[in-house]
Amino acid sequence: MKQIIKEISINGVDYVMVVTHSSSTQNKINSDGNGKAETSKYGPNPPITVYINESGNQSMGQYIYTIQSYSTSLNSQKSSATEDNNSLASLNYLLNKKFNTPIYLNFNGSYDGLTLTIPLFSEISNVLVN
């Protein structure tokens, strides 16, 4: 397993991102050329886990698991956060679609899907491809 810890800043807010994946996933992503991992005849790729924590945050936020086109929240939040939950699920779906492997995504802090989804997708993708 390979673990990458990276400090990032998006819109003036600092985050710590931890991405864990197997070496076989990295090799498949790099060998494909388009950044998409291929499923082997022996089964799906091991999952990728992504933990993102906003600096100064101490509470656990959404924890979402996505495999193929199905997502489930492993840590439900209050119903008033439904829009943010859907945005986070959308981010997880995009990652799952790009890398063709199950994704565990945990985001801790204030999540604004309109301003964070695309920058986070880019940051996570860059970590996995490079």
The whole model's pTM is what? 0.78
Average pLDDT over residues 12-30: 79
Number of neighbouring beta carbons within 10 Å of residue 50: 25
Range of the domain at 62: 2-129
| Higher pLDDT, residue 8 or 73 | 8
Number of domains in the chain: 1
Asked if residue 84 has pLDDT above 70, the reply is no
d(CA 86, CA 129): 26
Reported as type and span, the H/E element at residue 100 is none
Burial class (CB in 10 A: 0-12, 13-18, 19+), 114: exposed
Asked if residue 63 has pLDDT above 70, the reply is yes
| Higher pLDDT, residue 72 or 20 | 20
For residue 42, what pLDDT band results from cuts at 50, 70 and 90? very low
Which CATH number characterizes residue 115's domain? 3.30.230.100
For residue 55, what pLDDT band results from cuts at 50, 70 and 90? very high
The pLDDT of residue 41 is: 41
The C-alpha torsion from 114 through 117 and 118 to 123, rounded to 10°, is 140
DSSP 60: -
Percent of the chain at pLDDT > 70 equals 75
Sheet containing strand 103-108, strands side by side: 2-10, 13-21, 48-54, 103-108, 62-67, 70-73
User: Encoding tokens for residue 118?
Assistant: 């695309």
